[in-house]
Amino acid sequence: MMRTSEDIIIAPVLTEKSNVLREAGKYVFRVDARANKMQICGAVRRLFDVHPVACGIINVSRKPKRNRNRAGFTSSWKKAVVTLAKGEKIAVFEGA
């Protein structure tokens, strides 16, 4: 089954660290766990009409959490840091 760009890019990651990276032209996204670097770069290119130069992938591991007397874990997920060509921006993030 072919995945669309909307299936690959799940959501932007909006943290203090990602806001600092955005000023350097790097955007952080939560992505599908099965996606690779080429698929992520292609999805960003199609969705936002920009030219990605590089893509880094980080697998965020699960972390232990407790809720009252029950112990459990958060879900593990995949994060991508996409570097854009010099001078390019994603307009959606500029209003945030």
Q: What are the tens digits of pLDDT across the range 76-86?
A: 999 999 999 99
Whether residue 95 is predicted with pLDDT greater than 70 in this model: the reply is no
Look at residue 4 in the predicted model and tell me its pLDDT: 87
Domain count, the chain: 1
Find, among 21, 48, 44, the residue nearest to 31 by Cα. 44
Contact between residue 83 and residue 26 where contact means Cβ atoms under 8 Å apart: yes
**Residue % of the chain over a pLDDT of 90:** 82
Look at residue 94 in the predicted model and tell me its pLDDT: 67
In a domain, 51, yes or no: yes
Find, among 26, 75, 76, 33, the residue nearest to 52 by Cα. 26
Look at residue 67 in the predicted model and tell me its pLDDT: 87
Domain that holds residue 81: 5-87
In a domain, 95, yes or no: no
Instruction: Please report, for the domain that includes residue 42, its CATH number.
Output: 3.30.70.330
